[in-house]
């Protein structure tokens, strides 16, 4: 794939860059970053105006405020996009849904294959235990993470069918991410935990999503579509 990394100067943009160059299966045509960091092994531009080559897919690890401009360019050029940016609000989701009528868009609050397997598991468990057990979600992320609770916590909550869950979020140190879902009964507790030991899991998931989306029709896709392959 010929890839453009949107938000290439950020932590995840750099990890994605490293993974692509290590595996040597795909090519990064260029990066887009508003701060125009110049220490990466490909051309870096402040915006898409300077992108002239044919792009197979854009992988986005940027900022919610950049979504509108990103999707405008992708629609203009008919380019599929993987949106891995977190902290999206209602307006960003509305823009994404509108854009998906014209181009293929893959969007997930968490690109980890493990987290999305956890979502499927708690969906099944909640269908059995909901009403008899109380449910809670506890998450830990690094101290610089801006959204609290995270999009992942809400993704897990959405998977709980009709159960309601209390979400507790802790921001401390350099923890990439840990999420635990509790099902608490009167005399027993069931816990399921996912721990991210490296941010590479998010880059790996984004690449897998990119491979999927370049062959897809216009529409909005997520990890459920990817896991069905």
Q: 57 phi and psi, to 5 degrees?
A: -160, 145
Distance CA 160, CA 204 (A): 26
Distance CA 70, CA 49 (A): 11
The residue annotated as part of the active site, out of 26, 93, 142, 145, is 145
**146 flagged as catalytic:** no
Q: Quick one: which of 219, 179, 220, 225 has its CA closest to 205?
A: 225
Query: What region, left, alpha or beta, does residue 36 occupy, with left being phi > 0 and alpha being psi -120 to 50 degrees?
Result: left
Provide the pairing of β-strand 189-196 with 177-184.
antiparallel
Q: Decide if 177 contacts 197 (C-beta within 8 A).
A: no
Burial bucket for residue 109 (CB in 10 Å: 0-12, 13-18, 19+): buried
The residue annotated as part of the active site, out of 141, 146, 194, 200, is 141
Q: Quick one: which of 116, 201, 191, 188 has its CA closest to 159?
A: 116
Distance CA 28, CA 44 (A): 11
**6 flagged as catalytic:** no
Catalytic residue numbers, as ranges: 141, 145
């Amino acid at each position: 794939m010929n890839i453009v990394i949107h938000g290439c100067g950020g932590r995840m943009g750099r990890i994605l860059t490293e993974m692509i160059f290590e595996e040597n299966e795909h090519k990064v045509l260029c990066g887009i970053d508003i701060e125009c960091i110049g220490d990466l092994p490909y051309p870096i531009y402040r915006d898409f105006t300077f992108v002239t080559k044919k792009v197979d897919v854009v992988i986005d690890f940027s900022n919610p405020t950049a979504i509108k401009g990103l999707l405008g360019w992708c629609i203009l050029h008919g380019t599929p996009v993987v949106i891995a940016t977190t902290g999206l609000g209602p307006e960003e989701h509305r823009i994404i849904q509108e854009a998906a009528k014209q181009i293929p868009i893959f969007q997930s609050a968490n690109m980890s294959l493990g987290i999305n397997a956890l979502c499927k598991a708690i969906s099944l468990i909640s269908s059995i235990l909901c009403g008899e057990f109380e449910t809670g979600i506890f998450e830990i992320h690094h101290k610089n993470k801006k959204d609290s609770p995270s999009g992942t916590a809400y993704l897990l909550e959405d998977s709980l069918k009709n159960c309601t869950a209390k979400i507790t979020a802790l921001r401390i140190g350099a923890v990439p991410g840990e999420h635990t879902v509790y099902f608490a009964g009167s005399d027993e507790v069931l816990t399921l935990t996912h721990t991210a030991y490296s941010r590479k899991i998010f880059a790996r998931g984004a690449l897998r999503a990119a491979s999927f989306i370049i062959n897809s029709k216009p529409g909005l896709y997520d990890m459920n579509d990817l896991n069905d392959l």
